[in-house]
């Protein structure tokens, strides 16, 4: 039934009810319209229950509707402009470090790309085609001009340094290289199956404070048993927050893959766009046994955490001598002005997550939890070296470091308050790498929430 016809039925039906004076033909019309009204109402109910997130998030005092409006109309347009600037466009990363946790069993490879194992010669042609596609789509475009390479050496002299929260040493590794993020967008690569599952399963199993007696399926997209969700509810705030951050990051990455899906590859020209079927498979309440909504709420929670970190770190960037250096003074000035505009917007947001409630218990217990928190996160950073697809590894490392930088900021409130106005501080510094990761990671979350709105619209149009 078309939307126009459905609207006509509703209008006529409500007019009869509201204005009275029922005649026999009115009753006959109402009865004939009733099946259409019930059908359209059921579509609305299904859509709301599956995809229309509403209400207040757990562990904070912010509602989803406020985040949608704030992000889609204020933050998203600005952050997209910022990450297009040269300072935020290039990220230094080591994609050659071996996995420290299990042998690299990927023996299907082309230049700059390692993916899950190829099937044997006797395997089905479809499987081979998928493997070849994953190779091609997952490869890194490492094209850089000689001018860019020379500029990077100059940038290094204008960097600040501090111990990394994530424990990454990509910046100093001889195998590290600068990657142009615009040439390597995060999107569907064909990397999937047990190889990809093992990475996420390791993150959830080993790093989310879960006892081994609580079962979680190998496939992280499969619905979990009730005992796992029950266990999460009874975690202390700090551990519950950690799990939500990892789940939110996982959801965000899945939304990117669904929104930039390879829809067609005929004539050698790939067509990218939203894949509604794939989105439903990962987030539909019926297909995920009600877990889809929880996963999406965790995305919003992660957004709030990184939003809070940006508002907290604003004083660091507001100091006049802080320069986002690329060697082009006019470019650098515009970039910093745009960054400060974003930071001012984050400070104006009225419903921030209150990080003071974390690690606020007994001093020794709080210290132990904080260190455990940090070590778990470092471990997750190392697991990213086990991702078998170069593009997936690139964006996994970047977003993990971005989240780690956000957590470091939230844990450094006292040091940020005591920053000297006109000189660097030994108490708190950010490297160029951390700044690039922080803003690009937040840009990915902002994009996820914007894409979520787009998927809602597509799903509504299909009803």
432 marked among binding-site residues: no
457 annotated among ligand-binding-site residues: no
9 carries a ligand binding annotation: no
**What are the tokens at 203?**
């993150």
- Look up 236 and say whether it is catalytic: no
Encode 9-43: b = buried (16+ Cβ within 10 Å), e = exposed.
beeebeebeeeeeeeeebeeebeebeebeeebeee
Asked whether the beta carbons of 153 and 91 are under 8 A apart, the reply is no
Phi-psi region of 143 (alpha: psi -120 to 50; beta: other; left: phi over 0): beta
447 annotated as belonging to a binding site for a ligand: no
- As a whole number of Å, the end-to-end CA separation of the chain is 9
The annotation status of 155 as a binding-site residue, yes or no, is no
- CA 386, CA 363: separation in Å to the nearest integer? 36
User: For 166-236, where are the alpha helices, taking DSSP H only?
Assistant: 194-207, 226-233
CA distance to 89, 178, 363, 366, per residue, from 184 (Å): 10, 12, 45, 40
Instruction: Give helix 125-138 / helix 390-410 axis angle, nearest 10°.
Output: 50
Asked whether the beta carbons of 409 and 309 are under 8 A apart, the reply is yes
Helical spans, DSSP H, in 326-431: 329-348, 363-383, 390-410, 413-417
**Which entry of 50, 62, 131, 392 is annotated as an active-site residue?**
392
Q: In whole angstroms, give the CA distance from residue 300 to residue 48.
A: 17
Q: Was 405 annotated as part of a binding site?
A: no
Bridge partners (DSSP) of residue 109 are 114
d(CA 387, CA 389): 6
The C-alpha atoms of residue 310 and residue 324 are separated, in whole angstroms, by 16
Q: Report the alpha-carbon distance of residue 399 to residue 374 in Å, rounded.
A: 16
Assigned token pair, 451: 């894409």
Whole-number Å distance between alpha carbons of 444 and 441: 5
DSSP category for residue 261 = E
- At 393 the three-state DSSP class reads helix
Beta strands in 234-345 (DSSP E): 261-264, 271-273
Token pair for 30: 């109402």
Residue 22's H or E segment, with its range, is none
Residues flagged as binding site: 187, 189, 200, 247, 250, 282
Residues flagged as binding site for FAD: 187, 189, 200, 247, 250, 282
Hey, which residues are catalytic here? 389, 392
């Amino acid at each position: 039934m078309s939307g126009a016809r459905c609207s006509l039925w509703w209008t006529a039906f409500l007019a009869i009810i509201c204005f009275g004076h029922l005649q026999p033909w009115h009753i006959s019309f109402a009865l004939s319209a009733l099946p259409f009204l019930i059908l359209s109402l059921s579509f609305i109910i299904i859509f709301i229950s599956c995809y229309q997130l509403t209400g207040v998030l757990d562990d904070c005092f912010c509602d989803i509707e406020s985040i949608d409006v704030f992000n889609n109309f204020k933050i998203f347009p600005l952050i997209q402009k910022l990450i297009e600037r040269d300072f935020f466009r290039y990220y230094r990363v080591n994609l050659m470090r071996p996995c420290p946790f299990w042998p690299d069993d990927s023996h299907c490879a082309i230049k700059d790309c390692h993916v899950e194992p190829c099937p044997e010669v006797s395997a089905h042609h479809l499987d081979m085609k998928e493997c070849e596609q994953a190779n091609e789509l997952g490869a890194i475009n490492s094209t850089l001009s000689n001018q860019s390479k020379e500029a990077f050496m100059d940038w290094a002299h204008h960097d600040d340094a501090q111990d990394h929260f994530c424990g990454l040493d990509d910046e100093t590794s001889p195998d590290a290289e600068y990657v142009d993020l615009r040439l390597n967008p995060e999107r569907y690569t064909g990397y999937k199956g047990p190889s990809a599952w093992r990475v996420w399963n390791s993150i959830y199993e080993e790093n989310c404070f879960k006892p081994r007696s609580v079962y979680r399926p190998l496939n992280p997209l499969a619905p979990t048993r009730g005992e796992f969700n029950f266990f999460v509810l009874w975690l202390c705030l700090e551990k519950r927050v950690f799990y939500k951050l990892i789940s939110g990051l996982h959801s965000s990455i899945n939304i990117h893959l669904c929104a930039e899906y390879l829809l067609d590859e005929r004539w050698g020209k790939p067509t990218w766009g939203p894949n509604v079927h794939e989105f439903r498979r990962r987030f539909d309440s019926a297909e995920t046994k009600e877990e889809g909504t929880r996963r999406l709420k965790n995305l919003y929670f992660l957004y709030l955490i990184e939003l809070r970190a940006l508002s907290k770190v604003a004083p660091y960037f507001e100091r006049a001598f802080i320069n986002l250096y690329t060697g082009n003074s006019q470019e650098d000035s515009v970039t910093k002005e745009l960054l400060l505009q974003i930071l001012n917007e984050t400070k104006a947001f009225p419903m921030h997550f209150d990080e003071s409630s974390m690690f606020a218990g007994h001093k020794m217990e709080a210290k132990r939890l904080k260190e455990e928190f940090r070590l778990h996160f470092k471990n997750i950073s190392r697991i990213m070296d086990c991702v078998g697809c170069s593009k997936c590894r690139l964006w996994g490392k970047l977003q993990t470091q971005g989240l780690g930088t956000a957590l470091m900021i939230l844990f450094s409130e006292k040091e940020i308050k005591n920053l000297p106005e006109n000189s660097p501080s030994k108490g708190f510094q950010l490297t160029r790498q951390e700044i690039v990761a922080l803003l690009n990671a937040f840009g990915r979350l902002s994009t996820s929430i914007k894409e979520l709105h787009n998927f809602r619209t597509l799903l509504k149009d299909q009803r």
